[in-house]
Amino acid sequence: MVTKTAPYTAKDYSGLLGMDGFSDDLLNNHFALYQGYVNNTIRLLDMIADMPRDAKDPRFAELNRRLGFEWDGMRMHEYYFDALGGNGKINKSGPLANKLSQEFGSFDEWQKAFKAVAGIRGVGWAALYHDPNTGRCMNFWINEHHVAHPASCQLLLACDVWEHAFMLDYGLNRADYLDAFFMNLNWDVVEQRLEAGAHVWK
């Protein structure tokens, strides 16, 4: 059997409390949901490690299917929270703003397009991806977070548009939540992701 470890621990995002546009109650509820994804990722990895590798065993099959949901729930929330806590201002002459302007005509046009994706009826995620093979940046809508990710692309920005991310503060007014999200972005983090991913496939 595989040696079991607990390499994943929930990150401490308490520094985001007090952030404009996000109540502490909403953030604490969101942190608790994220903690659940981390706990379930560890639990599933341990359970799978204890099982015989038998593709015909429905328990083995379902636990492995479930792992993607819990793992991506953990990681998507880290992408989301890690990019918050900033002043919302992007360096308009920096590499990311330039790339988005090339793709969409201007940074403001990209932001308008991203908000349109994030406003699609339904629940899920709006995400900005960079394709290191072509250099292209693209906005994607993702329903459940373990499906619909573009293969080989680098995730730059993830915006949670499941109800738990905004309804306590904004009810059905998703547009105001998106304004608050952008107002608190740390664009340095997003640019660092672009720089890290740009060399992966070179």
pLDDT tens-place string over residues 150-169: 888 999 999 999 999 999 99
Please report the pLDDT score of residue 6 as a whole number: 59
CA 190 to chain centre: 11
* Residue 185 domain boundaries: 95-197
Which among 105, 106, 78, 92 has a CA at the least distance from the CA of 187?
92
Residue with tokens 């906005």: 139
151 and 118 within one domain: yes
CA-to-CA distance for 171 and 176, rounded, in angstroms?
A: 10
Categorize the per-residue pLDDT at 53 as very low, low, confident or very high, splitting at 50, 70 and 90: confident
Please report the pLDDT score of residue 3 as a whole number: 55
Please report the pLDDT score of residue 24 as a whole number: 98
57 and 106 within one domain: no
127 and 47 within one domain: no
Is the predicted pLDDT of residue 18 greater than 50, yes or no?
yes
Categorize the per-residue pLDDT at 149 as very low, low, confident or very high, splitting at 50, 70 and 90: confident
CA-to-CA distance for 124 and 145, rounded, in angstroms?
A: 7
* Sheet of strand 154-160: strand arrangement: 136-142, 125-131, 154-160
Domain membership flag for residue 54: yes
pLDDT per residue as tens digits for the range 71-95: 999 999 999 999 999 999 999 999 9
Residue with tokens 């985001």: 16
Angle of helix 107-118 versus helix 174-183 axis, rounded to 10: 140
Collapse the DSSP code of 105 into the 3-class scheme (helix H, G, I; strand E, B; otherwise coil) and give the result.
coil
